[in-house]
A and B are shown apart, each in its own frame.
Chain A
Amino acid sequence: MSAVSAGLTDDELLEALRRAVTARDAVPADFIAAAKQAFAWHNIDAELAQLTYDSRAADHALATRTEAASIRALTFTSDRLTIELEVAQDSLVGQVVPAQAAVITVLPRTGGEAVITADEIGCFSVEPIPAGQFRLRCRTSAGVETMTGWITL
């Protein structure tokens, strides 16, 4: 690489500059804008719950071609909390385990958020089913804060 720029004649340097500027101009402005917005996720102060079960992955592991009607189910686990999710007909239903009241925030990747309450046995329902990628933040009444990884349904 060192030879690249040191050995360049003026014409070659100008050509390299042209390529550099062209490469940047090829990138759409909204692609860059979306990347800048990702900074909103910096330093999220919640314990991360890892995906520990995904019915879809389980189906593939078994190499079965399951019926189209099979229910998608996901489980996220952190040290102190488990969040179980199941896709129902027109909603996403979930439960916080151990069962307890909690505030659930739906965080779509594209921004914005929706707040939902989980009842005293930890049950909640997200309607409608989020269309794009999202994650859930769960804050229990005891103040435990957990965030799932990214979910695509």
Chain B
Amino acid sequence: MRDDPSVIALVKRVCDGDHEAWNEIVERYSPLVWSICARYQLSRTDIDDVGQGVWLMLVENIGNLRQPAALPGWLATTTRNECLRILRTASRYDPDGLPTDDLLPPDSGEREVEDDLIEAELNAALRAAFAELGEACHTLLSMLIQDPSPSYAEVSSALGMPVGSIGPTRARCLLQLRRSPHLAVFLPEQAGGIEVKETGR
């Protein structure tokens, strides 16, 4: 994957003291931190501890990140290390004094965290692209991704849109989503993968 220029820009703004840019980084990547903590089955208190530790480490070290584009990877690794630290601390002071490693849940390991990272980056890009859609598309897609997904008849009456135009509008909105620059880094180097799909229809 190529580097996401928006991450680089955000990191630079944070280094310059921009609180808004910091908030945006937090919004984007909190789900990543959260999902890794959930993977280690930590309690809510421990998750809060990990979260605070991770974000403090980031705010103190953001100026030293050698590759700002690698921020999501840094967050994933740091979160994993903090989770393991908390699990070790919890078992180390176990009153029975059992060997610590036996008390640790199995480490789900770098591989799974790497999967979490890949999914989190795609998710963050999708949400960023989604947030920038026009209001009509945003409303329609918001409704369509509800669980359970509503029927076209329900969508039609909720949005005052003829049933027949829901399908084409949905397709147009999804195309806009695909074309978002946020998703560009997830597309193959050779352009046109999506265009082919589109014209082949």
When distances are taken between beta carbons in the complex, the residues of chain A under 8 Å from B39 are: none
Mark interface residues in A24-51 (1 if CB within 8 Å of B CB, else 0): 1011000110111011011110000000
List chain B positions with a Cβ less than 8 A from chain A: 1, 14, 17, 19, 22-23, 26-27, 30-31, 33-35, 47-48, 51-53, 55-56, 58-60, 62, 92, 97, 118-124, 126-127, 130, 141, 144-145, 147, 170-171, 174, 177-178, 183, 186-189, 193-194, 197
Contact (Cβ within 8 A) A41 B27: no
CB contacts under 8 Å to B, within A1-17, are 1-7, 9-10, 13-14, 16-17
When distances are taken between beta carbons in the complex, the residues of chain B under 8 Å from A6 are: 186-188, 193-194
When distances are taken between beta carbons in the complex, the residues of chain A under 8 Å from B34 are: 26-27, 31
* Leading 4 A-B pairs by shortest Cβ distance: A20-B123, A38-B55, A18-B145, A6-B193
Q: How far is the CB of A27 from chain B (nearest CB, A)?
A: 5
Q: Which of B52, B118, B174 contacts A38 (CB 8 A)?
A: B52
When distances are taken between beta carbons in the complex, the residues of chain A under 8 Å from B52 are: 34-35, 38, 109, 133
Mark interface residues in A62-77 (1 if CB within 8 Å of B CB, else 0): 0001000000000000
Excluding A19-B123, A35-B33, 11 further A-B contacts by CB distance (< 8 Å) are: A4-B122, A5-B187, A10-B174, A17-B126, A19-B119, A23-B31, A23-B119, A35-B55, A36-B22, A42-B22, A60-B92
A13 and B17 in contact (CB under 8 A), knowing A5-B186, A6-B193, A21-B127? no
Cα A57 to Cα B121 with chains together (Å): 38
Contact (Cβ within 8 A) A34 B51: yes
Cα A5 to Cα B185 with chains together (Å): 10
When distances are taken between beta carbons in the complex, the residues of chain A under 8 Å from B189 are: 2
Contact (Cβ within 8 A) A31 B51: yes
When distances are taken between beta carbons in the complex, the residues of chain B under 8 Å from A150 are: 53, 56
A39 and B59 in contact (CB under 8 A), knowing A6-B194, A32-B27? yes
When distances are taken between beta carbons in the complex, the residues of chain A under 8 Å from B122 are: 1, 4-5, 16, 20
Q: Which of B30, B59, B177 contacts A42 (CB 8 A)?
A: B59
Contact (Cβ within 8 A) A14 B145: yes
Contact (Cβ within 8 A) A2 B186: yes
Q: Which of A4, A13, A35, A44 contacts B60 (CB 8 A)?
A: A44
